[in-house]
Amino acid sequence: MADRVKSTEQERLERLRAQLTGTGEPDRLVQALESGPYGNVLIGALLHGADRLRQGRTPTDLERLLLDAVAPAIPDAEIREWGRVYREVVTAQGRAALVPKVITGRSVGEGYAVADLRRDFSQVVDEALAAPNVRVVDAFEAAEEGSDSEAFIAVCKERKLGITAFAPPAEPMADAPGAQENTPDGAGGGPGVAASFRVKLVLDSFKVERAVGDQGGGKDEIYWTAAAAGQGAYRSEEFGSMKKGETRHFYKTTLYDAPMGQFVGVAIQCWEADQSSSEWDTALIKALREAAASLETLLLIDSFLGVLPVWVGVSFEIGKMFLLISEKLRNYDDLSAERSILMDFNQVARMHLSNSPRHRFTFDGDGRHVLKIRSEGDRPTWPVGTIEMTRFPLGEHENGPMAAVPVPLGWRSESAPCLVAHDGTLYAFFSRPGDQHLMISHLQGPTWTQPVEVGDFHTACQPSAAVRNGTLRCAFSDLEDDGAVVISDYDGTTWGPRQKARGNSWLYGPGLAPDGSVVVFRDDATGKMRVEGDGFPPTVATTGPVTTSGPAVLFHQGRLKVAYRTSTHPTIITDTVEPGDRNFPDYPDWENDMYGPDPWNDDTEHGPAAAEGGGRVYVASRSIKGKLEVNSAPANERNWMMFLWLGWDTIRMMDQPSLAALGDHMYVMYRRAEPA
C-alpha cells in the first residue's frame, strides 16, 4: 500500500543499497527483478553511467540515453549518488545484486555503449522470452482465447509487470511488378500495412473485479498512466470509491493516434492514488515520455533481430527499470500493476471489428481491474484474394455450424493455396500475383516466414504438395509449358528439375497422394481423371470419370481415394482405385468407397480438399454461397458421419480450400472472398 510519508533522498539511497546488496526485504519488486546472466542490463547501464558521470567521465551513447530518460524524475545530484552507492557495493562485494556481470565487471573507465548492447542483446531477448511474465501470443491464440490466461495473470501479479506481444501471422510479401491492384482504400495490402492506415486506440472503460480496498488500508482511488513511442505520456482522471463489480468509463481517452507501422507498442500502468501531488504527477509523466522515447530508439538500433523480439527485450528491461525507480521514488502513490502490450495489425483489427471480452487486459495487483481498449481509427480490411487460415480440433463433432476464426496472412495469390504438414510444421504454396511465380512459406514459431520463390516455376492453378521419403515434393500445372503437370523435389537447399507427367492440366491443378507416390490430375485431352505413379501401369495411365475440378487425394490402407467435382452434378464424390487397376469404378462400390458431401449439402462450383487426421478422413469444399463446408468419417468406415459449416458467417472463400493436420488440429487455408 502507499507510503504514509513522502520518501527522502537518503531513504531512497538506503533502499537502493539494500537492493544491490541483496539485503532488502523480499517483496514483489525482488521477484520482478529476478533475471539470468544478462537480465537488468539497462538498470546496470544506468547505474554504471551514473557512477561514470559522478567521476567526471563522459557517458556513452546508451548511458546518456538512459540518464536523460530518468532525469525528469531523479535530480542530477541524486542520480550521481545512485552511482556512488552502486560503485561502493561493487567494490566491497565484487558484484551487485540485480546487475549482470557484463556491467559490474567493467571499470569506471570502460563504459557500456549501444554497440555493447547490440552484441549482448540476443541473450537479453532469450532471457526475456523465457520469463514467465512475458507472453508472445500467436494469431490463433489471440482470436480463440485472448491475450490473458489465469496462470499468466497470476505471475504478472507476483512480479508487478507483464509483457504481451501479439505476433503477426505472417511476414509480408509484395506482389510482383505489374500485379493488378485489388486493395480497397485503407486496406492492409499484407502484413506490411499501407502507410496511410491510421490507428487510434482509446481507453474505453475498466471493470473492478477486486477493489484495492479489499486488501486492507488506504483509500480506494485509482488512476491510469500510459506511454507509447512518439506519443508522449497519458494520465487519466482519478476514479474514487471503486467497488467490486463496478465499471467506469474514461473521460480522457486517446492513447495512440498515428499511422500504423508494423506494430503499435504501449506501456500502461494502474496506480492507487492516496494524495497525489502535482510534483509526482509531472515527474511521472515526463519519465514515461522519456522511457517511451528510449524504447523507440533502441528498437530502431537493434532491429536486426526483428521488431517483435527486440521490443519484448527492451520493454522487459525498461519495465523493470521503471519498477525500480518508481519503488525508490514512492511517495503517496502506489503502482498496482504495469503491462506493456505490442499489437500487430491483426490485433488492432480484432479490437476494431469485435467487442469480444477476449480483447481486454487484466491488471492484477493491489486490486484487479480489467481494461477495455477500443480501436477507432481506419477500418481494417483485406483484399479479395488474400490468403487466410482457420483451424478446428480433430475428432468427432455434432453436425451443424462450428465456430472457427479466420486469420488473414496478408499475402495475395492468383491461385488457391496449398497446405502440407512436414517435420512438425506447416508449409504453404501459392501463386504470386503479377508473375504467377510459385511461392513457398513455412510456419516458424507463431509466424509464417516471408515467402520465397520455388525454383523457376510458374503456375496459375492450385499446386499440390506432399512429403516423399522425408522431403518436400510439389506438383503443379506449368504455366510455361502449356499446363504440363510437373513434379519437383526439394533437397533442403534447391528444388530439383521438372519431372513431367504424361498429360497436361491447364485449367485445374494436380493432386498428390500424401506420400507423394501418386499424382492425379484432370487430363486436358479427355477431361477425365488421370493417375500416374507407383503401383500403376507404367505405359498407360489410369483414366477415370469426367470431372470439372482438380482432385484431392488420399492414400489410405493401400487404396487410393480421390475426391473431385463431378461433371454431371455439382457435388463432390470420393472414389477408390486400387493400384494395378486401369480405371475408376464405373459405378460407386458402397463396400469400398465413400461419398461426400451428404445429399443435403450445398452444391459447389470448385474442387475439394482432403486430408486424414486423428483417425478420420476429412473432405472440405466451398459451397455456392462461399461457405466452408467440411465432411468427415472414421478412416475405416465407408460412409460420411459428420457435416459441418465451418465458421458459418465469418468465413467466405473464393474457391477450393486446402487441408493439413498438425498436432490435434486440422488447418484450412483458402483465398478470401468479399463478405456476402
Q: Tell me the CATH class for 386-395+433-672.
A: mainly beta
- The three-point CA angle 378-382-384 to 5° equals 140
Q: Is 4 helix (H, G, I), strand (E, B) or coil?
A: coil
Backbone φ and ψ for 304, nearest 5 degrees, come out as -65, -25
Q: Is 183 helix (H, G, I), strand (E, B) or coil?
A: coil
Please, are residues 400 and 598 in contact by the beta-carbon 8 Å criterion?
no
| Cα separation, 369 vs 82, whole angstroms | 34
> Pick from 22, 66, 30, 70: which is nearest to 48 by CA?
66
> Pick from 103, 104, 23: which is nearest to 62 by CA?
103
Q: Is the dihedral of CA 378, 379, 380, 383 positive or negative?
A: negative
Backbone φ and ψ for 259, nearest 5 degrees, come out as -60, 150
Domain residue spans of the chain: 386-395+433-672
What pTM did the predictor assign? 0.84
pLDDT, tens only, 285-332: 667 667 777 766 776 665 667 788 888 999 999 999 888 888 766 654
DSSP code, position 430: E
Crossing angle for the helix pair 114-130 and 278-301, to the nearest 10 degrees:
100
pLDDT, tens only, 247-285: 999 988 888 898 887 788 898 999 887 655 545 555 666
Q: Which residues contact 270 (CB under 8 A, 6 or more apart)?
A: 222, 224, 335, 336, 337, 338, 363, 365, 367, 369, 371
Give 5-61 as a DSSP string.
SPPPHHHHHHHHHHHHHT-SPP-HHHHHT---TTTTHHHHHHHHHHHHHHTTPPP-H
> Pick from 431, 440, 350: which is nearest to 385 by CA?
431
- The three-point CA angle 128-132-138 to 5° equals 80
pLDDT number for residue 645: 72
| Cα separation, 366 vs 157, whole angstroms | 9
pLDDT number for residue 581: 59
* Sheet of strand 464-468, all strands in order from the earlier edge strand to the far edge: 464-468, 471-478, 484-489, 499-504
Crossing angle for the helix pair 76-93 and 9-21, to the nearest 10 degrees:
30
How many CB atoms sit inside 10 A of residue 268's CB?
22
Cell numbers at 593, concatenated: 468407397
Which residues of the chain are modeled with pLDDT < 70?
Answer: 1-6, 26, 178-196, 213-220, 274-286, 288-289, 295-296, 299-304, 328-333, 355-358, 400-401, 403, 535-545, 556-558, 567-603, 637-643, 647-649, 674-676
How many CB atoms sit inside 10 A of residue 55's CB?
13
The kind and range of the H/E element at 390 are strand 386-393
Please, are residues 192 and 172 in contact by the beta-carbon 8 Å criterion?
yes
Give 132-180 as a DSSP string.
TTEEEEPHHHHHHT-S--HHHHHHHHHHTEEEEEE--SB---PPPTTPP
pLDDT number for residue 634: 79
